[in-house]
């Protein structure tokens, strides 16, 4: 199974280059991957952009779960983008592209409102929320702390904000912001 191959590849690579905690175990990583896959039911866009991909714990499992969607993994740290490119090649994921640079530059290139942004632990989700407010993207779905989610104030009538609990985690939620027309 590709998810198992990804976890093996990540842990082996992590022995040489620090991508995730050195204390990470197969079980820890499997839990994070399972949590990432909770986003599946909240994504409707055909293009999905993973902001701050890191070691790919969010974007790569979603790419495997959605072979028909185009996944763009965005990361600013070179050693992480090197890993992501190697993982994409190793796992033969034809629907994934890796972008090295800030999310703002990637979004300048990714014109149109048909895309979704996903992220896990992005330091400033307000930056990501702004893409929804400006109608640059259709939806934003993030795994974040409840306190970070509260920082996003909705003052625009065409934005829907929904949060979902992550089972067995009091300190994390799934937050979804989406553009909705006034007719719906």
% of residues, the chain, pLDDT over 70: 93
pLDDT tier, 184 (very low <50, low <70, confident <90, very high otherwise)? very low
Residues 6+ apart with CB under 8 A from 118: 39, 43, 48, 49, 50, 51, 58, 59, 62, 140, 141, 142
% of residues, the chain, pLDDT over 90: 71
pLDDT in tens, 157-168: 688 889 999 988
pLDDT tier, 135 (very low <50, low <70, confident <90, very high otherwise)? confident
Residues 6+ apart with CB under 8 A from 54: 19, 20, 75, 77, 80
Lowest-pLDDT range of 71-75, 84-88, 154-158: 154-158
pLDDT tier, 156 (very low <50, low <70, confident <90, very high otherwise)? low
* Strand (E) or helix (H) holding 29: helix 26-37
**Where are any strands of DSSP class E within 26-182?**
47-51, 70-75, 96-100, 115-120, 139-144, 159-165, 173-179
Q: Is the pLDDT reported for residue 175 higher than 60?
A: yes
Q: Is 145 helix (H, G, I), strand (E, B) or coil?
A: coil
Domain locations along the chain:
2-179
Residue 113 φ/ψ, nearest 5 degrees: -105, 10
Q: Are 153 and 175 in contact (CB under 8 A)?
A: no
Q: Is the pLDDT reported for residue 63 higher than 50?
A: yes
Q: Is the pLDDT reported for residue 3 higher than 50?
A: yes
How high is the pLDDT of residue 52?
95
Arch. (CATH architecture) of 2-179: 3-Layer(aba) Sandwich (3.40)
pLDDT in tens, 111-132: 666 799 999 988 888 899 999 9
Q: Is the pLDDT reported for residue 183 higher than 70?
A: no
CB neighbours of residue 155 within 10 Å: 6
């Amino acid at each position: 199974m590709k998810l198992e191959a990804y976890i093996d590849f990540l842990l082996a690579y992590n022995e040489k280059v620090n991508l995730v905690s050195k204390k990470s175990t197969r079980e820890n990583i499997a839990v994070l991957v399972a949590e990432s896959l909770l986003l599946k039911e909240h994504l409707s866009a055909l293009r999905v952009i993973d902001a701050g991909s890191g070691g790919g714990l969010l974007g790569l499992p979603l790419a495997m779960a959605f072979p028909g969607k185009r996944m763009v993994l965005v990361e600013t740290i070179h050693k992480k983008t090197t890993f992501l490119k190697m993982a994409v090649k190793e796992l033969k994921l034809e629907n994934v592209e890796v972008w090295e640079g800030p999310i703002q530059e990637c979004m300048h290139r990714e014109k149109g409102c048909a895309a979704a942004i996903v992220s896990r632990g992005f330091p400033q989700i307000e930056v990501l929320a702004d893409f929804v407010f400006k109608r640059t993207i259709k939806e934003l779905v993030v795994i974040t702390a409840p306190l970070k989610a509260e920082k996003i104030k909705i003052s625009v009538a065409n934005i829907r904000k929904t949060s979902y609990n992550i089972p067995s985690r009091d300190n994390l939620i799934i937050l979804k912001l989406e553009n909705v027309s006034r007719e719906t």
